[in-house]
Amino acid sequence: MTALTIATVDITPARDRAPGPGPVLPRMLTGDRPTGRLHLGHYAGSLANRIRLHRQYQSFFIVADLHMLTTKNSREDIAGTGQRAADMVLDSLAAGLDPAHSVFYLQSGVPEVAELSLLLSSLVSVPRLQRIPSLKEMARHAGQREMPLALLAYPVLQAADILAVKAAVVPVGRDNAAHVEVARELARRFNRRYGAVFPVPALVPADVPALPGTDGRAKMSKSLGNAVYLSDPPDEVAAKVRRMYTDPARTSSGVPGTVEGNPVFVYHEVFNDRPAEVADLKERYRAGKVGDAEVKDKLAAALNRFLDPIRERRAELAADRGLVEELIVTGTERTRDEVRRTVAEVRAAMGLTTALAGFHAAARARAAAAVPAKPAAAVPILTETVRDRD
């Protein structure tokens, strides 16, 4: 049976079902650590995919602030979480996520996920996690010489996020694929050992190559300072484009240039809505018949055409004070409800509730059978205390 077949099993609480008969939408979960404002790299790499998919599912978007702690945990890092989370959600909405189809939640507001993570951690070995390359990469990137325990357990916590909402599909980039694989293994192992609780989540690969930075480096990223943000004003976009790295061998507009891998043309390809213009620019660039200024001016114009409606919507949403915050609050509550239910199911499936339930029953039986308790011990102690004070 494939993951998706399992996922079609109705796991939706009645109150979430559409009225009347008809299939229930399976759940999708994805998200990010709270990095702040989103840039074109986020858009091309994940946001566009999310926007395309999210109406086909009950879509959950996590702001993974507990995952952030595995590499960034200073008081300042943590203090900035609220602002960065709100910015991310605002940008996502501005870019096209429909709040009617999206549940945004803050991971630390759902502490039951940590319990699930602990319970799942017995089902995976340390060497299995040590073999995941993205974790070593993250440790190195964070300047850690030794692997923090929480970072090693990063995929287990991510599996807990995914399984806690019983997600059927998880669209993520290449660096997260191995983590989803861990979630799949844990779901299968749990179900085999304790009973069928979890749908096995399917990975939806976001099959886009990373968008290069404005400096020509392989990846657009905030920390590299080579990003164009969805919220950058038009003149800032134009200025960033003017400074963009392009074919370094091209010393004047008469020299034939290379289009392949040239970030200016990569952006044209991804964001310019006028394919004929792009084809014409490429042809003239290769022939040495166009200046960089023209190619860049047209790119800035194209990016601004793309960003205009996003900026406009962002301004509208931002003017609606407290809207984003309210969405996060209701989304976190909604998710917490869901997760509480799952964790209760997990504890029951594992038989973890049996011992305490037995103790309760025995204690109740004793209370019911008991003769009234006599305060025998209290009396002499009290007397002595009084006498001591004299």
Q: Which residues bind ligand TRP (CB under 6 A)?
A: 29-33, 62, 64, 67, 158, 161-162, 170, 172, 176
Residue closer to ligand TRP, measured from CB, 67 or 296:
67
Strand-by-strand arrangement of the 27-32 sheet: 102-106, 58-63, 27-32, 169-172, 202-205
Q: Is 24 left (phi over 0), alpha (psi -120 to 50) or beta?
A: beta
What residues contact 344, with CB distance under 8 A and at least 6 apart?
none
What residues contact 179, with CB distance under 8 A and at least 6 apart?
132, 134, 154, 155, 158, 159, 172
Q: Is 379 left (phi over 0), alpha (psi -120 to 50) or beta?
A: alpha
In angstroms, give the least distance from the CB of 175 to ligand TRP.
Answer: 7
In angstroms, give the least distance from the CB of 30 to ligand TRP.
Answer: 4
| Alpha carbons 86 and 183: distance in angstroms, whole number | 27
In angstroms, give the least distance from the CB of 171 to ligand TRP.
Answer: 8
Residue 192 burial (C-beta neighbours within 10 Å; 0-12, 13-18, 19+): exposed
| Alpha carbons 265 and 252: distance in angstroms, whole number | 17
Residue closer to ligand TRP, measured from CB, 148 or 216:
148
What residues contact 101, with CB distance under 8 A and at least 6 apart?
54, 55, 57, 58, 59
Residue closer to ligand TRP, measured from CB, 95 or 170:
170
Structure tokens at 13: 């609480």
Residue closer to ligand TRP, measured from CB, 30 or 304:
30
In angstroms, give the least distance from the CB of 90 to ligand TRP.
Answer: 18
Residue closer to ligand TRP, measured from CB, 59 or 214:
59
| Alpha carbons 220 and 230: distance in angstroms, whole number | 13
In angstroms, give the least distance from the CB of 181 to ligand TRP.
Answer: 12
Residue whose beta carbon is closest to ligand TRP:
64
In angstroms, give the least distance from the CB of 158 to ligand TRP.
Answer: 4
In angstroms, give the least distance from the CB of 140 to ligand TRP.
Answer: 16
Residue closer to ligand TRP, measured from CB, 51 or 348:
51
Residue 218: CB atoms within 10 A of its CB come to: 13
Residue closer to ligand TRP, measured from CB, 32 or 232:
32
